[in-house]
Structure 1
Amino acid sequence: MGGACSRKRGALEREDNKSPAGRLCRKFSKNGSSKWLVTSVPKLGGNDSQGQKNSSRRPPPLLDLCIQNICEDIDNHGTFYMLPRDISQEIFNELVFSLRLTDVSLEAFRDCALQDIHLIDYPGVNDYWMDVISSQGMSLLSLDVSGSNVTDSGFSYLRVCKNLESLGLDYCERLSDLGLKEIGEGFSNLTSLSFRRNNAITAEGMRAVSGLKNLVKLDMERCPGVGGGFAHLNGLSKLESLNINWCNCITDDDLKHLSGLTSLKSLQISCSRVTDMGISSLKGLHNLTLLNLEGCPVTAACLEFLAELASLSYLNLNRCHLSDAGCQKFSKFAKLKILNLGFNDITDACLVHLKGLTALESLNLDSCQINDDGMENLKGLKNLKCLVLSDTEVGSKGLRHLTGLHNLESINLSFTMVTDCGLRELSGLTSIKSLNLDARQITDTGLAALTSLTGLTHLDLFGARITDSGTSYLKNFKNLCSLEICGGGLTDAGVKNIKELSSLSLLNLSQNCNLTDRSLELISGLTGLISLNVSNSRITAAGLRHLKPLKSLKSLSMESCKVTASDIEKLRSFDLPNLVSFRPEE
């Protein structure tokens, strides 16, 4: 959402985070196949983000100060070999976090017996670094060099690190079958291995994995050459999690080799060539709780086999070939908590078979052919927390069936037929925290009907026709962390009512072409902002000075404004050190 005047429906979204170095952190990018689980039951609390330090684990203040001083004066320290291991580990972690670890300073950690080395997308990691890393010997338990330039030769250094338990090699483009063979020999303690997005590893290379008898988690997402190599997984009796999303090489024959992995709890095979016949091979995996089949050419016939998986709690059938025929099998999925049926040719007739799924907490019906009549089948789902109805024919009458779902925390009504009048049906659902009303027929009147939802933390009014007058109702939502109003009806006067929302971390006001530099001045007090979008407005470079207090800002979008990339770069260099993503770009 943002610079474009409208959003395309049906395209897989890609949301990329930034690494500390300001480069694209590919390891944690989300795609259509994995995002479903992350967003099914939204995490609306304030958890620590990836890469941030957990304050409960920080050392005492005096020691912390000493470590910071050492890091600032790192060039004067030749070795930390004589320090206790936990102190060396803290110094190493601080250098990585602050991007001060270099070829030179790395040498000081040779033979320091470090246990954990995480260098995800860290600049400059190569075979020389692996030499120093391997010097940690039997002490090294966890290593992640995802996104590095390490070659097969570099991985050979790891031979001496026989106690490794976790190894992350995502996006290591120079890793081939040869390097994987080095890793597969002698690592009997390895429980977690990930080498996502690798084009060089083949079915023959998978032979190296067969010796990792204690492996619990294996991630091979976007590895197009591994098809045909799954026979080498037969002996991994402890394997609980297998991710082969986006491997178009995977066929029904590959799934036959998974039938003996009875410890498997999580299986992700989205966007593969697996059909109903392949799914029949899984019917013996009675411990399976999560199954992701997004984008696979399966039909409702596969439910015959899946119904035998008594532990199944999370099922993603988004963008499959489902129709109403065969959907009666859904009634047997008693333990199902999360169900994604988006972008299938199912109608209200399918919903009849869902009304008995009383354990269901999340239901995605995005772009399905359902309307108000089918909504009656949802009124008994008392545990439902998340409901996605976007791009359906559901209207205001259908919402009356939701009035008894008092556990609802998130509901998506974007591109539906719901009007202002229908929103009154939601007024009693005070547990709602996230609400998407991206629809042109929603106006100020609809927003007024929602003022009782004081617990709202996320409100999406992207395409709604909200005016300056309507923003006065926002004062009821004191806990808002995320707000999007992009229908074009706002001026600086409306932004006055937004400046009091002190909890905001994301604010999207794009497409409001009458906003001026005055709006930036008004929101300058929202010091918790992490993301700001004011694209397609009358804001100029002169207004950038008002953003100086927003020290937490990481993302800034000003496309189609009178602002250049160099203007924003200057602001970043002098005043916004945390800004890692901005538009326009150079």
Structure 2
Amino acid sequence: MGASCSRRRDTQAGGDLLRKAGSKKYGKSASWKWLLYPSPRSSSAELNGGDGISPSLMELCARRIRQDIKLYRSFSMLPRDISQLIFNELVESHSLMESSLEAFRDCAIQDILLGECIGVKDSWMETISSQGESLLSLDISGSDVTDDGLNLLGDCVRLQMLSFDDCEQISDCGIRLLSRLSNLTCLSLKRNDGITKEGMKTFADLINLENLDLEKCPRIHGGLIYIKGLTKLVSLNIKCCNRISDEDMKALSGLTNLSKLDLSYNKVTDAGIAYLEGLSKLNTLNLAGCHVTAASLGSISVLTELSCLNLYRCAISDEGCENLASLVLLEDLILDSCKITNEGMVGLKGLLLLKTLDLSDTDVGSAGLHYISGLCHLETLNLGFTLVSDSGMNKLSGIVSLKSLNLDARQITDVGISSLTSLTGLTHLDLFQARVTDFGMSHIRCFKELQSLEVCGGLITDAGVKHIKSLLSLTHLNMSQNSALTDKALQYISGLTGLVSLNLSGTRVTNAGLRHLKPLKLLRSLHLDASGVSVTEMKKLQLAALPNLISIRPG
């Protein structure tokens, strides 16, 4: 089908919790996540505070100092809160350099968050460590700091939060410093190959630790035994740690205050899950990609405080799904790529608090939707790549709480869409592969709150686009692979001035039609792959009318 119509399905449930890898079958042409982040501050944004609110006098002073930072040798005589404000301004504006950092020596700053700064290395750590007992939080993620630099923090004994994700030069030798930082409550060292079981011995001294993130630390197998006494732990992330197995799970059985546990993409099996039965406060459990079967649902069923459960790509079948019925507090449930059918859906009938349900890549069909038709709090439902057809849509029509609906399946047609017009609260609708025609588009116009829409089945013409020109809340629109669309479609789209992302790849749009896009001043991403548009004309449009456009893909 070509790159522009491929799919990548990334879902997220329960805040930042239930992330999973996308299906290998499909991959979206581009992620929209980066579009949700604000653009770098412009000079006009600085003047009004970036959000339409006038900045305080102190904020204005901090910005002026940032502009003239070379004139200042030391801020140590200023009150700590003012020094902190100036420091934050330099960091947020990406203006902090080693030379300007020196001015903050001995300033008793409490928070030094350099996770996005370029050039951070051991020589920076001398000034950082000069904050002494005042320093409470430090983030040097992605830096070139080594074990030697980390060891300079020995006097910062009141540190509560420390993050050094992606610090490739920190190993067990540097980790030994942590034994002096017993006040730590939050520690994150994601994606570190240098930390092993030996280095983890130090963790036993961190008796106040509440949050520990060891994601993608592949050499810590056997080291979890050293955290078994950290009874204050509330959150533990050991996602993608490669060799973590059932034997490692024994060490977790006594962490009775654990609320959030991420075990995804490890070698944990049903036997390992049995060690978790005593974790009665567990609220969030991520088992995506683990070697667990429906037999593990018996152990999981006793975790009655669970509100988020991710079983993506686990060998969960219908047998055992009845155990899900005891998890009455569940709000987010991911069953994507599990081996369940309509029969396994019975266990979901009583989960009345469910807000997010992902059934994509399962063998659930229209009949199975009967069991979720009464879930009146359901807001997000993913039925992509299932066996659900038009006949199942009337079972969804009463779930008026739905805001996000994925119907990425060839069996869905205009008939099914016509059954959903009661779902007027929808903000996200994915009909990527659905066989929707212009007639079906006339029903989509009923969803006045839509913010994102994907209709890429190839059957839409310009007349169909006319039906959605009144959906003024749209920020993301993907109508790629509808090869009949012409410049006329751009004329209808021109009124959707809230658009941030537009994909019309694989259409008959030409250079001449680009003029219709000039009113879309908020547009940041424009994809017109395999169309009649040239890169030269797109760049002209970008320079002349679309100042926020930062991602373009011409034909």
Range into which the TM-score falls when normalised by the shorter chain = 0.7 to 0.9
1:374–1:185 distance in 2 versus 1, CA, 3 Å: closer
1:135–1:435 distance in 2 versus 1, CA, 3 Å: same
Cα displacement string for residues 455-483 of structure 1 (whole angstroms, at most 9, x for unaligned residues): 11111111112233432323321211111
Cα offset, 1:568, TM superposition = 6.2
2:256 — aligned with what?
262
Q: How big is the alpha-carbon RMSD for the aligned residues of Structure 1 and Structure 2?
A: 3.7
Larger displacement relative to structure 2 (140-149 or 463-472): 463-472
Distance 1:5 1:125 in 2: 40
Residue 411 of structure 1 aligns to a residue in which SS? strand
1:61–1:513 distance in 2 versus 1, CA, 3 Å: farther
Cα offset, 1:355, TM superposition = 4.5
Distance 2:106 2:205 in 1: 28
Q: Does 1:505 align with 2:493?
A: no
**Normalised by the size of structure 2, how large is the TM-score?**
0.83
1:509–1:59 distance in 2 versus 1, CA, 3 Å: same
1:227 — aligned with what?
221
Contact 2:294 2:321 in 1 (8 A): no
Q: How does 1:514-553 map to 2 (within 5 A)?
A: 514-520=484-490, 522-540=492-510, 550=520, 552-553=522-523
Cα offset, 1:312, TM superposition = 4.2
Contact 1:555 1:581 in 2 (8 A): yes
2:237 — aligned with what?
243
Cα displacement string for residues 6-46 of structure 1 (whole angstroms, at most 9, x for unaligned residues): 447xxx8599xxxxxxxxxxxx99952799xxxxxxxxxxx
Residue 476 of structure 1 aligns to a residue in which SS? coil
Paired residue total: 533
Q: Does 1:444 align with 2:414?
A: yes
Amino acid at match of 1:222: K
Contact 2:311 2:334 in 1 (8 A): no
Larger displacement relative to structure 2 (123-132 or 533-542): 533-542
Among 88, 92, 105, the alignment partner of 1:110 is: 105
Among 87, 106, 109, the alignment partner of 1:92 is: 87
Q: How does 1:296-307 map to 2 (within 5 A)?
A: 296-307=290-301
2:20 — aligned with what?
32
1:179–1:534 distance in 2 versus 1, CA, 3 Å: farther
Q: How does 1:448-463 map to 2 (within 5 A)?
A: 448-463=418-433
Higher relative contact order (Cα pairs below 8 Å, separated by 6+ residues): 1
Distance 2:244 2:183 in 1: 28
Distance 2:431 2:473 in 1: 18
1:518–1:137 distance in 2 versus 1, CA, 3 Å: farther
Cα displacement string for residues 267-320 of structure 1 (whole angstroms, at most 9, x for unaligned residues): 222222223333343344333333322222233444454455454444333323
1:276–1:425 distance in 2 versus 1, CA, 3 Å: closer
2:270 — aligned with what?
276
Amino acid at match of 2:125: M
1:256–1:449 distance in 2 versus 1, CA, 3 Å: closer
2:529 — aligned with what?
559
Cα offset, 1:555, TM superposition = 4.1
Contact 2:301 2:324 in 1 (8 A): no
1:350–1:215 distance in 2 versus 1, CA, 3 Å: closer
Distance 1:272 1:552 in 2: 42
Q: Does 1:485 align with 2:455?
A: yes
1:496 — aligned with what?
466
Q: How does 1:303-382 map to 2 (within 5 A)?
A: 303-309=297-303, 311-321=305-315, 344=316, 346-347=317-318, 349-355=319-325, 357-372=327-342, 375=345, 378-382=348-352
Residue 261 of structure 2 aligns to a residue in which SS? strand
Cα offset, 1:552, TM superposition = 4.3
Among 120, 125, 132, the alignment partner of 1:130 is: 125
Amino acid at match of 2:312: N
Distance 1:151 1:479 in 2: 51
1:212–1:315 distance in 2 versus 1, CA, 3 Å: same
Q: Does 1:410 align with 2:380?
A: yes
Unpaired segments ≥5 residues, structure 2: 24-35, 42-48
1:145 — aligned with what?
140
Larger displacement relative to structure 2 (452-461 or 462-471): 462-471
Residue 383 of structure 1 aligns to a residue in which SS? coil
Distance 1:360 1:521 in 2: 45
Contact 2:386 2:409 in 1 (8 A): yes
Contact 2:18 2:286 in 1 (8 A): no
Unpaired segments ≥5 residues, structure 1: 16-27, 36-47, 322-343
Distance 2:185 2:250 in 1: 23
Distance 2:506 2:523 in 1: 20
Distance 1:238 1:390 in 2: 37
Larger displacement relative to structure 2 (478-487 or 129-138): 129-138
1:475–1:245 distance in 2 versus 1, CA, 3 Å: same
Contact 1:33 1:270 in 2 (8 A): no
Cα offset, 1:87, TM superposition = 2.7
Q: Does 1:288 align with 2:258?
A: no
Q: Does 1:399 align with 2:369?
A: yes
Cα displacement string for residues 79-123 of structure 1 (whole angstroms, at most 9, x for unaligned residues): 433333223323322332232223333333333322222222322
Among 436, 441, 464, the alignment partner of 2:434 is: 464
Amino acid at match of 1:422: G
Cα offset, 1:450, TM superposition = 1.6
Residue 180 of structure 2 aligns to a residue in which SS? coil
Distance 2:541 2:185 in 1: 45
Larger displacement relative to structure 2 (571-580 or 554-563): 571-580
Cα displacement string for residues 315-367 of structure 1 (whole angstroms, at most 9, x for unaligned residues): 3333234xxxxxxxxxxxxxxxxxxxxxx3x13x5444445554343343434
Amino acid at match of 2:20: G
1:190–1:13 distance in 2 versus 1, CA, 3 Å: same
1:326 — aligned with what?
none
1:97–1:535 distance in 2 versus 1, CA, 3 Å: farther
Distance 2:84 2:22 in 1: 32
Residue 473 of structure 2 aligns to a residue in which SS? coil
Cα offset, 1:438, TM superposition = 1.1
Q: Does 1:189 align with 2:215?
A: no
Distance 2:487 2:449 in 1: 26
1:329 — aligned with what?
none
1:41 — aligned with what?
none
Amino acid at match of 2:237: N
Distance 2:179 2:310 in 1: 35
Amino acid at match of 1:32: K
Amino acid at match of 1:467: T
Amino acid at match of 2:59: D
Q: Does 1:166 align with 2:161?
A: yes
**Normalised by the size of structure 1, how large is the TM-score?**
0.79
Distance 1:465 1:493 in 2: 16
